[in-house]
Amino acid sequence: MPLIARASIECRAMTHVLLVCMANVCRSPMACAVARQLAHTQGRGAQLHFDSAGTHAHSGKRLDARAKEVLLKHQYSLPKTRSRGVTAQDFERFDLILAMDEANLAALQRQCPVARHGKLRLLLSYAPELGRFEVPDPYYGDLAGFERVLNLCETAVSGMLKQV
């Protein structure tokens, strides 16, 4: 095998996963924090890279205070990034792009080149035992909604890590 081909295979030893919600201030950053910590706990942190983005994000916003409170309560490290929108480069850079709900998945499908649609899935497709497909948006609710989101993310990320 030529040296150049071998090098490009070795570069893809890391799997890149993008978690996507609408504004990138609660669900996707929470899922990203869970994914990073669970991958690290399993000794797979060097093999997996996680990031988050939003289909309708206003870049630069901080993590929602309630999401922060729930993550800290459950001893997750807080994401250090601010919100950002999904970019055209994300469809090339990431191996797997996981949407929190059908609306976000549809937005991603409209933006994504058809040849890359195989990268798009719902996060909860990795947790069929839950009997639901969407991570509900807790933004307009109370703290209990953020707790529910965390529980759904933990279950789905655990399932995803078994398959990726």
120-122 β-sheet, strand order: 48-54, 15-21, 96-99, 120-122
Three-state secondary structure call for residue 24: coil
Tokens found for residue 140: 């307009």
Q: Active-site residue among 36, 112, 137, 153?
A: 137
Three-state secondary structure call for residue 3: helix
Q: Active-site residue among 26, 27, 32, 101?
A: 27
CA distance 46 to 39: 9
Residue 130's φ and ψ, nearest 5 degrees, are -75, -20
Per DSSP, helices labelled H in the chain are 3-11, 27-41, 65-73, 90-93, 102-111, 143-163
The answer to whether residue 36 is catalytic is no
The answer to whether residue 51 is catalytic is no
The answer to whether residue 137 is catalytic is yes
Amino acid symbol at 17: V
Catalytic residue IDs: 21, 27, 137
